[in-house]
Amino acid sequence: MAGNSNITTITQPVSAIGEYQNKIPILPSLNVYRYEKIFKLYQTGNKQYFYNLIQSLFLPDRLDKRALFYITIQAQQPWTTISYNVYQTIELWWLILLTNKIYNPFQLPTTGTTLAIIKPEYIPDILNEINASLQ
């Protein structure tokens, strides 16, 4: 149908300078694992916040093999479940996708898929490096 769209167009003026959520006192603070931490928030003229989803994050093409282990998916499951099984938090699903160069989080891994996983002891350093690179 011409003219129908599910995309919302922002017609209000938008703040020119974005800010990370944890630096906006009136918004709740995000913990270190949250994917949203990589996106700056902007504000419309009527004070509504939105994320700049254009920000990209990439891991090096060659990760140190000593920092990885591998799992094979036994049954299809959400990325959040895989994250919980590996890291005891659902919030690192995005790191599993980045590690494996998977860019569509809606496509779940099929049975038999082998995934590279960053060892849990390396996660704090990696998250610190990511956060430092965003400042």
Per-residue tens of pLDDT for the chain, all 135 residues = 445 445 444 444 445 568 888 888 888 988 888 888 877 888 888 888 887 665 666 777 777 889 999 999 999 999 999 999 999 999 999 999 999 999 888 999 999 999 999 999 999 988 888 777 766
Which residues does residue 118 pair with via DSSP β-bridges, in sequence order? 68
Question: What is the C-alpha to C-alpha distance for residues 88 and 15, in angstroms, rounded to an integer?
Answer: 37
> What count of Cα atoms within 13 Å lies in the side-chain half-sphere of residue 84?
6
Which tokens sit at 26? Answer: 């009136």
Return the pLDDT at 53: 64
Q: What pLDDT is stored for residue 86 in this prediction? A: 97
Residue 17: predicted pLDDT: 66
What are the residue boundaries of the structural domains of the chain, listed by start?
A: 1-55, 65-134
**pTM for this one?**
0.72
DSSP 59-121: --SS--GGGEEEEE-SS---HHHHHHHHHS-GGGHHHHHHHTT---TTSPPPTT-EEEEE-GG
